[in-house]
Each structure stands twice: as C-alpha cells, then as structure tokens.
A = this chain, B = another copy of it.
C-alpha cells in the first residue's frame, strides 16, 4: 500500500470521491425539511453503506436507519447503530436466526407482505416480553412487493397482532416514483380500515428521494426513508430533486485512449459506474466539461462522446457524475472523503456486497 493521498491529484483511478461538505449539507437539508413537515426521517443506508454517514444522519436528528438486507444491518449494529428498520420479507431459517440475534442487540423492525412470511417470523420470534415489530408492506403503485388491497393489509395485521412474539407496527410502502399522492391515498384508506377494526398504525412509512421535498402530509406518512439524498446523482438532478451542486459522489477516472477527436475512453466502465441507466439516455456526464457524455460502457471502459468542441487527451483525469449513486458505492471497496481538493479520509465501504 502506498501512503494515503493528501489531495485528489494523488488518488489513483478509478476511485469514488465523496464531497463531504455537500453530503453534510444534504443531510442537514433533508432533516430540516422532515422536521418542518413533522415527519420522522429514517435514512436508507444503501446509498452510502458507511457507518460514518449513518451516525451523521442520526446526529442530525434521524429517528433511526433503514437497511435492506440483514448483512447491512449487522454491519451497522456492529458499528453502534441501535435502531434499524428492515423493510424486507425475511425468509428461511438461516436468515431468521440472524434476525433473532440482531433483535436481541438493537431495536429492530421488519416488514411482511404474506402470511407465509409472518408465519416464519412467528415461529422464531416467540418472546412476548420483547416482540418484533412487523409492518405490513403495501403495493401502492410501484408493482414490486406488497399487499394489493386494504383488506389484505387488515388480514396480515391481524395475523401479526395475534402472534405473541410479534407486534403490529403499521404500514410501509415504496411508492411509484412521481406518484406520492396515489401512495398516500392508498395508505390512508388502509390505515382507516385498520383503525376501524381496532388496529392502530403507529408508523406509516414511505420512501424515495425524488419526492422527498414535496410537502408531506403528516396526517398520513409519519416516517420517510430516503436514500440517495445524501449523495444525489444525475437521476435526481433530472427529476428536479437536486441541482448539480448538490451531487456529492463522483467517480474519478483517467482518459486512457482518444481514438478519434470525438471519442475518449475512460478507465471506468460498468465495473465502476454500473449499467444502471434509470431511464436516462447516457451513463454519466463529466463534471465541468460541457458536451461530454458517457454514452457506452463495457466492463473496464467508459466511452465518452465529445461534442460541441470539447477535447480530452490521454492521461487527463476527469470526474464522472453517475446516473445512480447507490449502485456505484457497491462496486468499490473504499471511498475517498474530500473537501475541495483535500482528501479528508478513506473509508472502507463496510456494508458493500451484503446481499443476504
């Protein structure tokens, strides 16, 4: 290992740079917005995968954190995070045993969207003095997981409520992007039905960075789980949820080839930027270089098309703003925290690759 770089110029490429000032500003702004809306913030750590930032989010006022897989939650619990929501159906003996161990250490909650998931949880969680909080996942339009009707939500809530080692915690959704009203209407109807039947929803939780800035209706959503807001990315800028100056994550890359005047090749391909397009036309853009877009990726090459007179030379170092920040951090073992040109720290991506 070489000595830790002191400035960005000393970092070998490809590398992930996190602008610490921007990330901290994004944390503060989101917390302020949530506080103003009277909604609890429970950031999703999938974007950064770092205990460092999870702690910063808690310090700023977050009610807890959200993880998607038990392995991520284990990393965060080991690092001292004490309140974790896992909005996932935990299935199978191996995972349920890990979940139980985790439940004994920290404040934990999960979701379920089927009788089978709840039955599995109820078999392992049997202590009525320390029940596991389970929320019912609702498909409010995203067509992923979740019950399809209020009536189904009621049926599952009753099943949870009847299990001695489980406690019904409320409703959870991951809404369709751009359609928060529909999700809230769905949740309100389900919450009201459950209330009529004597089942109070302590928590109604929604997520997604693109719609986080809209005025939350605190009468429905009590908790919000944005992830990307801490780093932002090209997709969020496209959706109007961020400006380019909010984007904290870039990939530092080197131009390794300029085969033609309008084509430059970076040492950063899909292994650095991922193939996630999220519906955008290109795979990224070069910070500060107008008309330079990453138009194609192979595993170790990123093809940049230069238009409008932009030029690049072999050896040039550039910063790529990727389409999707969350998937980029899963591809690197470490990230560089920077402030201006200065390297503040190098952090291992502790929760990277935690798939189960």
Query: Which residues in A have some Cβ–Cβ distance to B below 8 Å?
Result: 2, 12-15, 46, 68-69, 88-89, 91-92, 94-95, 113-114, 116-117, 120, 137, 139, 143-148, 254-260, 263, 265, 267-268, 270-272, 274-277, 298-301, 303, 313-315, 326-327, 330-333, 353, 355-356
Contacts and interface: CB of A to CB of B under 8 A. Distances in A.
Contact of A259 (B139, B259, B330): B139
Given A12-B95, A144-B259, 17 more contacts: A14-B355, A68-B300, A88-B300, A89-B256, A89-B257, A91-B254, A92-B254, A113-B257, A114-B314, A117-B314, A144-B265, A145-B257, A145-B265, A270-B274, A275-B327, A299-B326, A332-B355
Contacts of A353: 271, 331-333
A327 B356 CA distance: 18
Contact of A277 (B95, B268, B275): B275
Smallest CB-CB A-B distances: 3 pairs: A275-B275, A116-B314, A89-B256
A332 to B, nearest CB: 7
Contacts of A69: 300
Contact of A327 (B267, B299, B326): B299
Count the copies. 2
B267 A299 contact: no
Contacts of A356: 12-15, 267
Contacts of A12: 92, 94-95, 356
B276 A275 contact: yes
B355 A314 contact: no
Nearest to A93: B12
Query: Which of A12, A69, A94, A355 has the most C-beta atoms of chain B within 10 angstroms of its own C-beta?
Result: A355
Query: Which of A2, A256, A258 has the most C-beta atoms of chain B within 10 angstroms of its own C-beta?
Result: A256
25 contacts: A12-B92, A12-B356, A46-B300, A68-B299, A68-B300, A89-B256, A89-B314, A91-B254, A91-B315, A113-B259, A114-B258, A116-B314, A116-B315, A117-B256, A144-B301, A145-B301, A148-B260, A268-B355, A270-B274, A270-B327, A271-B353, A271-B355, A272-B355, A275-B327, A299-B327
A116 B255 CA distance: 11
A330 to B, nearest CB: 6
A144 to B, nearest CB: 6
